[in-house]
Amino acid sequence: MQLFLFVSYPILTMNQLLDLTLADCKLVPFSESSLNSEAEPILFKNVLNNQKFSFLVMITIPMVQGTSVKTTKDVIDENAFVLKELGNFISSKTSKEIPTVIIYDKFGSATMSENVLSLPSSLSGFYTVTPTTMHQESDILRTFSVSKQLSISLIERTAKDKFQILTNSCHNILKSDSLPSWPWDFTNVDWIFKENMVKPMDNGVKQLKGYDKPVPYVKGIYFFNFMIPLCRNFTVALKAFYENALKNHGKNSFEIFGCMFDLEKHVSDDVLKSMPWCTLKCSKEQMDIIKYTFGVSHVPTLILLDKNNDVITKNGRWLVGADPEAKYFPFNDWDWYVDRPIEWKCVRPWNFYLIWDVPSLIVFGDAEDENYIDEWFSFVGSTQLSKFENLKEKNSLTKNQFLSRSCLLLFKCIDDDEFLVQYNLADLGVPLAIIFDPYSGVTICDEEHMSAEILNDFVKKYKNGQLEPTISPVPQFSSPLTPAGTNQSITLQTHKLESN
């Protein structure tokens, strides 16, 4: 069975998000512990135009099986230190330099009195986002790469009605021992590959001033600590993957640039020779900048970039486990309308949502259903492809830029009910269709009988916002089991970096 991995990082620019998704989204000013009832809601774009810089504080409540397991106050209290540091930083600015603060809270409870009282007094004046639709929320979370219950991003106004995201790592920055120079602009990555590095060559370790070879088709940035067992185990798997990629796709197809946080302690040739790729020799400050650039807070982490330094995926670790032979490298050759069988391997219910960043239509069935599912997908795929091409051309979207209401990836899962078990859907009969969005949840097609027309209507209603997810995207599993048939070093565990 073919394994297809879609991992291209489908990020909209800030301008595209505002124009295509949030054109009608409004913010409400808040001050002195109460909503300003006299003020009219203001368009998101107009608020961003007020100041050169804006902080967007995203509060996401963890959900399990559609039920909140925390409140907004819980999240605020747990992140009190970060919010206090944000308030202190804002207070240090002159009146002309004070950044705008915008709070996005899915349930709109950030302005409840108990929550406001939990905020630092220096954050007493801010804007809140009015309720958003399911697709708006999904696009916001995807664009800002939200991975924490409280995330903070920095947005810059570059000209009137023109904006860019400088970093999504403000949460980590505010927890660091020393703040980087303001503004916290981590949009440039080209410099990384011009720094000093070492690489095993000719039975030794060669010092390099930048990477002067032909630009590899894919670059991997590998964050790790040599002495952490999790990292050492994954390094073994990554080495095999690296060698297979070069063997199968050419010596200039792939290069890894290691960011080793304990390099000074383990800089011996024997250690460096055990890793056949480039290892960066950066200062702590430079390593922090790289970490903030990609929003890394745990090791081991593998980021994959294309030849233009655009992110393919921030979850490269899972790809190494799912495709150890690098057969499907470089992972960004895909079409919207082709059905894709899921051969789970390392892609299990508990990390499915990590690998695919966009909504997927998944149809589960038995072996006798497979031909029917192929016919249904052919119908749905041909219908949505023409619409997507028109949308892409009209809005100047690249192939990898995605709107939640546009297209769905199509997957079929035959004779494998583990996904259904983990999402508490095993009692439902097959064939069963669901739409899975890693940022909003699982939407179930409740039609008793299935056909191409019924499936297409299900997709249409979802895209039009007529259907809502009923299950959290994060499955409720009992233990972090290692998937059968995979390297035992590929587990769910990570090691949290001390400064985060």
Q: Same domain for 124 and 203?
A: no
Model confidence, pTM? 0.85
Contacts of 278 (CB under 8 A, 6+ apart): 197, 198, 199, 208, 211, 255, 256, 257, 258
CB 265 within 8 A of CB 232: no
CB 352 within 8 A of CB 441: no
Helix (H) / strand (E) containing 349: none
Q: Same domain for 151 and 23?
A: yes
Task: Calculate ∠ Cα 69-74-78, nearest 5°.
Answer: 120
Lowest average pLDDT, out of 59-73, 80-94, 153-167, 456-470, goes to: 59-73
State how far the Cα of 132 lies from the Cα of 52, in Å rounded to an integer.
25
Please check the confidence at residue 381 and state whether its pLDDT lies above 50: yes
At 76-130, the pLDDT tens digits run: 889 999 999 999 999 998 878 899 999 998 777 777 767 777 777 777 678 888 7
Q: Same domain for 288 and 210?
A: yes
Q: Same domain for 104 and 136?
A: yes
Lowest average pLDDT, out of 153-157, 279-283, 422-426, goes to: 422-426
- Mean of the pLDDT values across residues 55-81? 80
Q: Same domain for 216 and 286?
A: yes
Torsion angle, CA of 198/202/203/205, rounded to 10 degrees?
A: -10
Q: Which domain holds residue 353?
A: 339-463
Give the per-residue pLDDT at 339. Answer: 45
Which range of 59-63, 352-356, 493-497 scores highest in mean pLDDT? It is: 59-63
Place of tokens 């050419």: 250
At 10-19, the pLDDT tens digits run: 567 899 899 8
Residue 323 lies in a domain: no
Please check the confidence at residue 267 and state whether its pLDDT lies above 90: no
Residue 401 lies in a domain: yes
At 300-350, the pLDDT tens digits run: 999 999 888 888 888 888 778 878 888 878 766 544 444 444 444 444 444
At 154-163, the pLDDT tens digits run: 999 999 999 9
Residue 293 lies in a domain: yes
Q: Which CATH number is 66's domain given?
A: 3.40.30.10
Please give the structure tokens belonging to residue 462: 């979802």
Contacts of 128 (CB under 8 A, 6+ apart): 27, 28, 30, 102, 103, 104, 105, 108, 110, 111
Q: Same domain for 358 and 292?
A: no
Q: Same domain for 345 and 444?
A: yes
| Count of domains observed in the chain | 3
Q: Same domain for 157 and 31?
A: yes
Q: Same domain for 293 and 349?
A: no
Residue 205 lies in a domain: yes
Residue 493 lies in a domain: no
Which range of 385-389, 461-465, 483-487 scores highest in mean pLDDT? It is: 461-465
Q: Same domain for 373 and 344?
A: yes
Q: Same domain for 31 and 152?
A: yes
Q: Judge residue 164's burial from the number of C-beta atoms within 10 Å of its C-beta, 0-12 exposed, 13-18 middle, 19 or more buried.
A: middle
3-state SS assignment for residue 345: coil
Which residue, of 144, 175, 206, is where some domain finishes? 175
Residue 70 lies in a domain: yes
Helix (H) / strand (E) containing 14: helix 14-16
Contacts of 304 (CB under 8 A, 6+ apart): 7, 218, 219, 220, 311, 312, 313, 316, 319, 331
State how far the Cα of 314 lies from the Cα of 231, in Å rounded to an integer.
16
3-state SS assignment for residue 162: strand
Residue 315 lies in a domain: no
Residue 435 lies in a domain: yes
Q: Same domain for 113 and 214?
A: no
**Computed from CA positions of residues 11, 230, 188, 255, in that sequence, does the dihedral angle turn out positive or negative?**
negative
